[in-house]
C-alpha cells in the first residue's frame, strides 16, 4: 500500500509540473502577442519608437506557433524598422547601419584573407631567394648618394615603396614565365621616361603589384587616423588605382621629358652647328654641347650617345637608339637627317644650321599656337568665376537699396 501511495504521489508531482510548464509556455506566448498588439496600436498612432520596438519583436517571431499565422514576421519586422528610419527614428537607422557594417566586415574579412595569403606567398618566396646579391647591391646603393637623390626626385611613392618591392616582389617577377612580355611592354616606356638607371622592367612591374597591396594599406591607415566613415567596399577600387598608378605616373614623366627635350633643342643644335663649322668633328662637337649646355634630358641623351660610340657602336646605330629612346618626331627627324648625311658623306655643318633654323621656326609657331588657344581656354573659368563675382559687386548694392525702399 505504501508503494502505491508513493507511486501516486510521484505521478501527481510530475503531472503538476508538466501542466505548470505548459501553462507557462502558453502565458509567455500570449504575453508576446499581447505586447505586439500594444506596440502596433501605438505605432499606428505615429509613435516611431514603438514601431522600432515592434520591428525588433517581430524579428524574434520564428517559432512554429507564429509560422501558423501565415505571416513572415522577420521580413515584416525589417520593413517596419525601415519605415521607422525613414520617419526619423534614429535608433532604427543605427540598427540598419549596423547590418550594413556587418556586410562590410564580411568583405573586409575576405580581403584580409586574400592579402594575408599574398603576404605569406611573398615571404615564402623570399626565404628561398639568394640574399647575398641583394645585400651587396643594397650597400652599393646606400653608399651612392647620387642615386639616393635620384630616387627622391621621382616622388615619395617610388621613394618609400622601392625598398619593399625591390626586395620582395622583384625576385618573384624575375622568375615569372612571361618575363619576356613584361620587358617588351615596359622597356621603351622606361627609356622614354629616362628611368632605365632607376628601374628595370621587372622592378616597374613589381612596383605595380606592390601598390595593389600598398594603396589599400594607406587607405585603411588614413581612414583610421582621420576617424572617417569611408566604406570598406572601396578597397578593391583603391587596389585597382594602385595597379594603374605607375602607368599614369610614367606617362606624365614621358610627357614632361619630351617637353624639356623640345625646349632644349634650339640651343643644343645651334651649338652643334657652330662647333662643327669651327672645325670639330660631330662627336667632339657633341662632347662640347654636353659640357657647356644646361643639364637636362637632351644632354643626358647626348651622353648616352657618346658612351655608345665609345664602346664600339657606329654613329648611325647610336643615333637610331637615341630616336628609339626619346620617341619624339623632332628627334627622329634630327637623327634621320644626320644618318642620311653621314651615309652619303655630306658636310654636317650646313645641315645642322638648317635644322637649327627649322627647329626655332617650329618652336615659334608652337608658342603662337598656344598663345592663340589661351584665350579660348581662359573663357570657361572666366565665365564660371570672374563674371559672377563682377555681377555680384555691381548689382548687390542696387538690390539692397531696392529692398530697403530707397
The predicted pLDDT at position 16 comes to 40
Is the pLDDT at 39 greater than 50? The verdict is: yes
Q: Which three cell numbers stand for residue 332?
A: 627622329
Is the pLDDT at 92 greater than 90? The verdict is: no
Residue 380, H or E segment:
helix 348-381
The predicted pLDDT at position 134 comes to 53
The predicted pLDDT at position 5 comes to 36
Q: Which residue has the higher pLDDT, 326 or 62?
A: 326
pLDDT above 90 as % of the chain: 16
CA distance 110 to 116: 10
The predicted pLDDT at position 400 comes to 84
Query: For residues 335 and 323, is the Cβ–Cβ distance under 8 A?
Result: yes
The predicted pLDDT at position 323 comes to 92
Per-residue pLDDT of 223-275, as tens digits, reads 888 888 888 888 899 999 999 999 999 999 999 999 999 888 888 888 888 88
The predicted pLDDT at position 145 comes to 55
The predicted pLDDT at position 233 comes to 85
Is the pLDDT at 100 greater than 80? The verdict is: no
Average pLDDT for 181-192:
90
Is the pLDDT at 19 greater than 50? The verdict is: no
The predicted pLDDT at position 89 comes to 78
Q: How many helices (H) and strands (E) does the chain have?
A: 18, 0
CA distance 350 to 273: 7
Name the DSSP letter for residue 364.
H
Q: Which residue has the higher pLDDT, 106 or 43?
A: 43
In degrees and rounded to multiples of 5, residue 17 shows phi and psi of -65, -35
Using pLDDT thresholds of 50, 70 and 90, give the confidence band for residue 358. Answer: confident
CA distance 159 to 214: 13
The predicted pLDDT at position 379 comes to 80
Q: Which residue has the higher pLDDT, 131 or 219?
A: 219
Query: For residues 319 and 335, is the Cβ–Cβ distance under 8 A?
Result: yes
Judged by average pLDDT, the poorest of 6-10, 76-80, 118-122, 347-351 is 6-10
DSSP string, 83-138: HHHHTT-HHHHHHHHHHHHHHHHHHHHHHHHHHHHHHHHHHHHHHTS-HHHHHHHH
Per-residue pLDDT of 276-289, as tens digits, reads 888 888 888 889 88
Classify residue 329 by burial, with Cβ atoms within 10 Å: 0-12, 13-18, 19+.
Answer: exposed
In angstroms and rounded to an integer, the radius of gyration of the C-alpha atoms of the chain is 39
Angle between helices 131-143 and 145-153 (to 10 degrees): 90
Amino acid at each position: 500500500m505504501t508503494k502505491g501511495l508513493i507511486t501516486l504521489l510521484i505521478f501527481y508531482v510530475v503531472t503538476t509540473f508538466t501542466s505548470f510548464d505548459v501553462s507557462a509556455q502558453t502565458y509567455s506566448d500570449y504575453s508576446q502577442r499581447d505586447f505586439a498588439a500594444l506596440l502596433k496600436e501605438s505605432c499606428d498612432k505615429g509613435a516611431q519608437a514603438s514601431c522600432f520596438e515592434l520591428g525588433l519583436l517581430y524579428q524574434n517571431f520564428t517559432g512554429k506557433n507564429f509560422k501558423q499565422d501565415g505571416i513572415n514576421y522577420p521580413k515584416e519586422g525589417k520593413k517596419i524598422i525601415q519605415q521607422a528610419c525613414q520617419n526619423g527614428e534614429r535608433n532604427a537607422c543605427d540598427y540598419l547601419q549596423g547590418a550594413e557594417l556587418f556586410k562590410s566586415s564580411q568583405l573586409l574579412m575576405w580581403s584580409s584573407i586574400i592579402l594575408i595569403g599574398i603576404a605569406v606567398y611573398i615571404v615564402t618566396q623570399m626565404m628561398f631567394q639568394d640574399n647575398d646579391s641583394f645585400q651587396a647591391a643594397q650597400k652599393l646603393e646606400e653608399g651612392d648618394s647620387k642615386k639616393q637623390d635620384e630616387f627622391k626626385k621621382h616622388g615619395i611613392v617610388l621613394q618609400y615603396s622601392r625598398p619593399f618591392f625591390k626586395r620582395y616582389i622583384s625576385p618573384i617577377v624575375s622568375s615569372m614565365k612571361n618575363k619576356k612580355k613584361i620587358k617588351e611592354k615596359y622597356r621603351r616606356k622606361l627609356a622614354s621616361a629616362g628611368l632605365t638607371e632607376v628601374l628595370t622592367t621587372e622592378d616597374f612591374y613589381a612596383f605595380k603589384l606592390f601598390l595593389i597591396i600598398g594603396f589599400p594599406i594607406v587607405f585603411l591607415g588614413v581612414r583610421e587616423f582621420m576617424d572617417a566613415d569611408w566604406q570598406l567596399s572601396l578597397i578593391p577600387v583603391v587596389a585597382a588605382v594602385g595597379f594603374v598608378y605607375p602607368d599614369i605616373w610614367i606617362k606624365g614623366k614621358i610627357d614632361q621629358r619630351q617637353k624639356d627635350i623640345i625646349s632644349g633643342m634650339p640651343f643644343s643644335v645651334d651649338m652643334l652647328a657652330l662647333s662643327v663649322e669651327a672645325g670639330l668633328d660631330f662627336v667632339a662637337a657633341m662632347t662640347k654641347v654636353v659640357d657647356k649646355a644646361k643639364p637636362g634630358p637632351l644632354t643626358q641623351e647626348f651622353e648616352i650617345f657618346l658612351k655608345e660610340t665609345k664602346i664600339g657602336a657606329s654613329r648611325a646605330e647610336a643615333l637610331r637608339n637615341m630616336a628609339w629612346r626619346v620617341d619624339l618626331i623632332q628627334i627622329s627627324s634630327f637623327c634621320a637627317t644626320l644618318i642620311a648625311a653621314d651615309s652619303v658623306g655630306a658636310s654636317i655643318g650646313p645641315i645642322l644650321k638648317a635644322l637649327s633654323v627649322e627647329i626655332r621656326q617650329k618652336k615659334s609657331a608652337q608658342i603662337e599656337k598656344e598663345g592663340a588657344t589661351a584665350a579660348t581656354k581662359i573663357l570657361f573659368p572666366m565665365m564660371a568665376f570672374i563674371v559672377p563675382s563682377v555681377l555680384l559687386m555691381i548689382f548687390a548694392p542696387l538690390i539692397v537699396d531696392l529692398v530697403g525702399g530707397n
